Amino acid sequence: MKHRGKDGRAPTAVQMHQRIIILGFMGSGKTTVARELARQLEGTHVDLDSFIFDREGRSAAEIIKEDGEHQFREVETLALRDVLQNSEARVIALGGGTWTIPANRTLIALHDCATVWLDAPFELCWTRISNTQTDRPLAPNHQTARARYDSRRADYSLAQQRVEVNEPDTAETLARQILSIT
Ligand code: S3P
């Protein structure tokens, strides 16, 4: 059972200095919100895709296109394991598919992190996906991206917390909301 504070309530993730994992579909704002959340916590953050790029010398998109998604998932799981084991970062932003892999969810559970799903509507994600330079081979067109979005929701809903993302929400507002619930 979790240790309880003076008021009898279980301490929050923030009080326990637990790490916070940000997950959600491509374009939901994981990287920006994780950066802002770390700033508000006066800590650091790691973006898993950037970590992979720094280590492999290739982006997630390049690995997927050159070696296939299966190979990328292996690289991603090893990267996640190393970040969880070695990084002091207070906030970790996953890639859009990381949380959908059961082994990755197990790793995260073993490290006792707070998990937060940024639940953004598909059209908002799609607008962002199609308007940025970031290459996303797993969302090549509206139809494929939509099918992937729908098929992943059940996995995303396994996160401990869900934060609804609407178009006008800023990273600052979303980070404050996450701090109030974790
Ligand atoms: C992926 C999302 C990407 C990146 C890779 C695979 C996915 O990250 O990890 O292209 O499977 O949804 P973002 O969610 O940061 O775009």
pLDDT at 17: 82
Distance CA 72, CA 62 (A): 9
| 2 three-state secondary structure | coil
* pLDDT, tens digit, 9 for 90 and up, residues 41-70: 999 999 999 999 999 999 999 999 999 999
- 26 within ligand 1 shell (Cβ under 6 A): yes
Dihedral sign for Cα 133, 153, 141, 76, please: positive
Question: In the structure, what pLDDT confidence band is assigned to residue 7 with cuts at 50, 70 and 90?
Answer: confident
Whether the predicted pLDDT of 157 surpasses 90: yes
28, 49, 80, 83: which to mutate for ligand 1, most atoms within 8 A of CB? Answer: 49
Average pLDDT for residues 125-150, to the nearest whole number?
96
Question: In the structure, what pLDDT confidence band is assigned to residue 6 with cuts at 50, 70 and 90?
Answer: low
- 49 within ligand 1 shell (Cβ under 6 A): yes
Report how far apart, in Å, the C-alpha atoms of 89 and of each of 17, 65, 121, 139, 176 are. 11, 29, 28, 29, 18
